[in-house]
């Protein structure tokens, strides 16, 4: 059905369709999680052995199971201790080197904290702040009209 036709449906029908879609999506996610768990149970040890054989802790390995090629990926997730990185940046700077040659620095400001700042401090940061709207969402609830 074209999206314009769906948009023209009565609000009650849209609410029911939204509820059905959310239930179907939840069921699909549950099924996918269950199936992926079964696949991990079946191939996890074999993938780990293949990685060890290739001298890898993480990454992608391929192997065959009858006529199926299994591609098992274990992504690398690196976390850096921010306090220790700060210490290293200070040491690099103290030694007369430019830390930007070694590390990238990113600043983040919590929107909640930003909102609690005094106006004078917020004004100083305004030029560095860009607000971009996210994707709009609408939740339709049947029978709660006031």
Give the domain ranges of the chain. Answer: 3-74, 82-128
pLDDT digits (tens, 9 = 90+) for 46-85: 999 999 999 999 999 999 999 999 999 999 999 999 999 9
CB 11 within 8 A of CB 140: yes
Please give the model's pTM, rounded to 2 decimal places.
0.67
Nearest Cα to Cα of residue 129 among 139, 118, 121 = 121
Nearest Cα to Cα of residue 15 among 138, 143, 141, 136 = 141
- What Rg do the C-alpha atoms of the chain give, in angstroms? 26
- Residues lower than pLDDT 70 in the chain: 145-146
């Amino acid at each position: 059905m074209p999206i314009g036709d769906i948009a023209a449906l009565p609000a009650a029908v849209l609410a029911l369709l939204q509820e059905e879609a959310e239930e179907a999506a939840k069921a699909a996610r549950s099924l996918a999680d269950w199936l992926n768990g079964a696949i991990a149970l079946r191939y996890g040890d074999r993938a780990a052995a293949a990685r060890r054989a290739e001298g890898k802790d993480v990454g992608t390995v391929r192997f065959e199971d009858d006529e199926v090629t299994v591609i098992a990926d274990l992504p690398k997730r690196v976390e850096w201790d921010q306090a220790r990185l700060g210490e290293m940046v200070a040491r690099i700077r103290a030694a007369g080197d430019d830390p930007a040659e070694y590390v990238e620095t990113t600043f983040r400001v919590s929107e909640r904290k930003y909102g609690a700042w005094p106006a004078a401090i917020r004004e100083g940061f305004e030029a560095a702040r860009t607000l971009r709207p996210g994707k709009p969402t609408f939740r339709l609830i049947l029978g709660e009209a006031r």
